[in-house]
Amino acid sequence: MKKIIFLVLLTILSYKGYSQFTPTVEGFESTTGPDAGTNWTLGTGNWAVFDNGVGLGQRWSINTALPYQGLNAAYVNRENIGAGNTSEDYLASPLVTIPTNGQLHFFARTFTSGNQGTIYQLKVAPSTQSQTNPAAYSLVQQWTENEISTPFNTYTEKVVNLSAYAGQQVYIAFVMQWSQAGTALGDRWLVDDVSLVVQCDDPTLATVGSINLTSATLSWTGTAPQYEVEIIPQTGTFTGTGTVVNTNSYVATTTTAGAPFATSTTYSYRVRALCSGGVNSNWVGPVDFTTTAPGLSCAAPIVIGALPYSTTDDTANYSDNTAIEGSPGASGCGSTNSYLNGNDVVYAYTATTTGIINVTMSPTATFSGIFVYTDCADIGVSCIAGAADAGTTIRTFDLNVTAGTTYYIVISTWATPQTTGYTLTLQVVNCAPPTGLTATNMGQTSADLSWANPGGATSWEVAVQLAGSPIPTGPGVTATTNTNYTVGSLTQATAYQYYVRADCGDGTFSVWSGPYLFNTTICDVAQQCTYSFILKDSFGDGWNGGTMQVRQNGIVVATLTGPTAADGQNPVPLP
């Protein structure tokens, strides 16, 4: 049961030197109804029920079926007052002293969906006037049916600023006004948990910082002991319930409903202060923020998993991160020129073992570079490795890595060009890889593959793929020769590529070398191709303004049309 009539929630010293004030809550728990003889104790004296003399069949009473909380709520019903008439039903508090920065809080709801035209008002009358004189009251704020509660059948907290009456004794009245136009009636009104409080200051300067893939730091300014933060997807609807925090910032990773943040997604948040005595400020916001996409910054990089790793992408799919603009660093970068001026993409690799990895970047544009750092703060300051060049040659280097250390890899350009396409490959280095890959004796279904052997290996693995395939992630076919290794069962007239890696002899392999591109032929090299030339014009007497077909093994591979015939006849299609 709600037993909080004239309950002293907490004696507080109000903020910023405001005078001491004891807030109270009127829950309308009396069982006799809100008339002049009922001693409800928000203020000094009794509450009063009266009207403007129109619509005497209904007056303010109590409702036991639909309180906000506890057993009762104040309630006024609608009635038929006749077209052209206006009724005003008053529920007026005893005299109350408005504190500095005072606010009135109450919970209200209606009964009917839509707007029937009822007006809900809050009015104030000075202590020098009669409590029950409608003419003594001045309007402070009013609401339509759609404004007083949303949705209509749910209690909504309303907050009214009464600081203009600070230090004065006044009567506060809830007034339901209804002007009837025809036979239709207005709506009803429920009011509960009325409290006069010292305002809880709104937070200010709500901001968002450190936005990552799946988190964001929300911050604001204020002096309250606690705050409530509500976070929703930008397309969602605030519910009025959030997460309580004890500081002026909050690292958020989920919505208030508990859904984890997704990358590249926009969310909205709002915040309110929770002050002593159960008093809340207004909600401040909403403030929108968007989680980042992988690769846009060092704080939210594209994470490289197990090696070998290969990806083909374009820095045009990312942005120009001005926080890392200019030179890649003063040392270890392969260049001190402005190779971070273009669009940037950032990768992160955490080494699982201590050893050597090979980093290779194949660009499609000029003036591009790749740079490696062990700390985001080092980007633009100092690299541990890097390669940059004005041409389109492959940028490659070996990198000593330590297990557990994260390495940040940045690809960018010395604009112009602003962007570049690229293929990035990372592989573990265990021994010297093959070099000098070639392919010879290409036939319709076979080719001979050869490569140099700088590490003295005696066994290799070969992976033959369709051109454009990613770097192999599994084993290849074992080869025991590196000269004219024949691969068969290929498809005629098809583009292929192959990778090869050396067996290091200790259960490990070198990095994959490749890809090397080659094509199978249309016809077998050994037999050559049989060509037939068929010339015919409209008279069948040779190529005189007619058409010539070139057929290869019976297949038309070219059609040539000659000059107009001397007899003026046009060539005809050949069968």
pLDDT digits (tens, 9 = 90+) for 521-535: 987 644 555 544 455
User: 172 and 256 share a domain?
Assistant: no
Is 191 inside any structural domain?
yes
What confidence tens digit (pLDDT) does each residue in 76-101 have?
A: 999 999 999 999 999 999 999 999 88
* Structure confidence at residue 555 as a pLDDT band (50, 70, 90): low
Q: Between 25 and 568, name the one with better pLDDT.
A: 25
Q: Are residues 512 and 535 in the same domain?
A: no
Q: Is the pLDDT of residue 487 over 50?
A: yes
Which of 431, 427, 398, 429 minimizes the C-alpha distance to 504?
Answer: 431
pLDDT at residue 201, as a whole number: 86
Same domain for 188 and 42: yes
Same domain for 60 and 165? yes
Whether 255 is covered by a domain: the verdict is: yes
User: Are 37 and 157 within one domain?
Assistant: yes
- Is residue 5 in some structural domain? no
pLDDT band at 413 (very low <50, low <70, confident <90, very high): very high
Query: Same domain, yes or no, for 494 and 537?
Result: no
383: confidence class by pLDDT, cuts 50, 70, 90: very high
Say if residue 318 is in the same domain as residue 417: yes
Q: For residue 404, tell me if it sits in a domain.
A: yes
Q: Is residue 19's pLDDT more than 80?
A: no
Q: Which residue, of 169, 198, 227, is where some domain finishes?
A: 198
How much is the pLDDT for 283?
93
392 lies in the same domain as 445: no
Cα 398 to Cα 430: distance, rounded to the nearest angstrom: 11
- In this prediction, residue 46 carries a pLDDT of 83
pLDDT per position as a tens digit, 120-144: 999 999 999 999 999 999 999 999 9
Give 261's DSSP letter.
P
- Residue 256, token pair as written in the block: 């208030």
Cα separation, 341 vs 326, in Å, equals: 5
Confidence grade of residue 302 (pLDDT, cut at 50, 70, 90): very high
Residue 56 lies in a domain: yes
pLDDT for 554 equals 55
| 423 sits in which H/E element | strand 421-429
Same domain, 45 and 184: yes
The verdict on 36 and 155 lying in the same domain is yes
Q: Which domain holds residue 494?
A: 435-519
Residues 93 and 46 in one domain: yes
Distance CA 445, CA 450 (A): 17
Q: Which residue has the higher pLDDT, 566 or 29?
A: 29
| CA separation for the pair 129, 127 (Å, rounded) | 5
From 182, 198, 214, give the residue that closes a domain.
198
Distance CA 94, CA 9 (A): 20
Q: Do residues 415 and 424 touch, judged by C-beta distance below 8 A? A: no
CA dist., res. 441 & res. 464, Å (int): 16
H/E stretch holding 145 reads helix 145-148
Percentage of the chain with pLDDT > 90?
A: 70
CA-nearest of 513, 324, 530, 362 to 431 is 513
| Cis omega (within 30 of 0) for bond into 417 | yes
Last residue of a domain, one of 353, 388, 423: 423
Give the Cα separation of 207 and 249 in Å (integer). 9
Any domain includes 54: yes
State the chain's mean pLDDT as an integer. Answer: 86
Separation between Cα atoms, residue 81 and residue 54, nearest integer Å? 7
pTM reported for the whole predicted model: 0.48
Are residue 83 and residue 148 in the same domain, yes or no?
yes
Whether 298 is in a domain gets the answer: no
Give the pairing type, strands 421-429 and 406-413. unpaired
Max distance between CA atoms of the chain, in angstroms, equals 127
Domain CATH number, residue 494: 2.60.40.10
**Where residue 387 sits, what CATH number does that domain have?**
2.60.120.680
Question: What pLDDT does 547 receive?
Answer: 60
Q: With CA atoms as reference, report the closest residue to 254 among 267, 241, 244.
A: 267
Residue 393 within any structural domain of the chain: yes
Q: Give the domain CATH number at 44.
A: 2.60.120.200
**b or e along 269-280 (b: 16 or more beta carbons within 10 Å of the residue's beta carbon)?**
bbbbbbbbbebb
Write the DSSP assignment of 478-509 as a string of letters.
EES-SSSEEE-SPPTT-EEEEEEEEB-SSS-B
pLDDT tens, 175-222? 999 999 999 999 999 999 998 888 888 999 999 988 888 899 999 999
pLDDT of residue 197: 85
pLDDT recorded at residue 449: 98
- Tell me: the pLDDT tens digits for 40-57? 444 456 889 999 999 999
Distance separating the N- and C-terminal Cα atoms of the chain: 100
Mapped onto helix, strand or coil, the DSSP state of residue 102 is strand
pLDDT at 506 over 90: no
Total domain count for the chain?
A: 5
pLDDT of residue 278: 74
Provide the pLDDT for residue 422: 96
Beta bridge partners of 428: 357
Q: What is the distance between the alpha carbons of residues 433 and 412, in angstroms, rounded to a whole number?
A: 27
Please compute the mean of the pLDDT values over residues 538-553 and round it to a whole number. 53
Give the tens place of pLDDT for each residue, 324-366.
999 999 999 999 999 999 999 999 999 999 999 999 999 999 9
